[in-house]
Chain A
Amino acid sequence: MLVPILKQGQYLIASVQAALTDADLLKLRDALTEQVGTFRSRGVIVDVTSLDVMDSFACRTLSDLANMIKLRGAETVIVGIQPEVAFAMVQLGLKLEDVATALDLEEGLEFLNRKTLQMRHGIKPPR
């Protein structure tokens, strides 16, 4: 199953719709890394609201994705991790270190707006 990637201004938004296989996740990672260049995007949002399981592979792939996007010069934010998914991740010992997360799409966009403003003008965002 392919994850649809939407272009919204200077951002790419990928909404993970259903249970993804490992192969699907890797495809998503590669597609986003590629498309950041194609569309000269400044930021990527991965919306995992409908994901009910985040296991070690999914976690590592999202982390790799964020690092690869970073190397391409853009920012990534993972949004919509559900409370029970967060609980299961913590129990399992999974951390999304060095990866930005936000409550939902709205917060994710807000985060990217602040980040890109900072990148463009060298302004420290208000804390």
Chain B
Amino acid sequence: MVSNPLDKIRLAVKSDVDIVLCRQKGREMSVQMGFTYSDGALIATAISELARNIVKYANVGEISISPVEVGGKTGIQVIARDEGPGIRNIDLAMQDGYSTSGGLGLGLPGVRRLMDTFEIVSNDSSGTKVTTTKWRR
């Protein structure tokens, strides 16, 4: 069976190799869906950061990438999910320069700038879920 490139893709994220695979898949889908090369780079970069957060903070999780249609707009939706420790203070985590890992602290606010929609739900019992979309122009 040949898988349709426009089907939803679900990828397990466990290591740095998966980070590369996730962003490549996102890039492929952006090409298939007719996104500009430049927007494809933004999507791939956002996926890379989201997958990196999973590996860094939760060790394991999942990235799903799917085409979406909302109100006549076509886009790529990226969902990053993990069952890690959750983010204690989301407001703080969304500030540039804030990091609990000694990193640059640009991950989440950066992803929000790269994409068009951004939603985060996190708590210490069920982990973190980031849902983000980029619309095709």
The residues of A with any CB-CB pair to B shorter than 8 Å are 19-23, 52-57, 59-60, 82-85, 87-89, 91-94
Identify B103's interface contact among A53, A60, A85, A89, CB under 8 A: A60
Contact B42 A88 (CB under 8 A): yes
Given contacts A56-B49, A84-B41, A19 and B113 within 8 Å (CB-CB): no
Given contacts A55-B52, A85-B41, A88-B41, A20 and B20 within 8 Å (CB-CB): yes
B interface majority secondary structure: helix
B78 within 8 A of A: no
Min CB gap A30→B, angstroms: 16
Contact-residue size bin, chain B (C-beta under 8 Å from the other chain)? 20 to 34
CA A85 to CA B117, docked complex, whole Å: 21
A interface majority secondary structure: helix
CA A47 to CA B20, docked complex, whole Å: 19
**Can you report 10 residue pairs joining A to B where beta carbons are below 8 Å apart?**
A21-B17, A54-B45, A56-B106, A84-B41, A87-B41, A88-B42, A91-B42, A91-B45, A93-B104, A93-B110
Identify B110's interface contact among A20, A21, A83, A91, CB under 8 A: A91
Contact A91 B17 (CB under 8 A): no
Q: Nearest 4 pairs between A and B by C-beta?
A: A92-B110, A22-B16, A84-B41, A55-B48
B81 within 8 A of A: no
CA A53 to CA B48, docked complex, whole Å: 8
Contact B41 A53 (CB under 8 A): yes
> Most chain-B Cβ atoms within 10 A of its Cβ — which of A53, A87, A91?
A53
For B49, the chain A residues whose CB sits under 8 A away are 55-56, 92
Identify A84's interface contact among B24, B37, B111, B113, CB under 8 A: B37
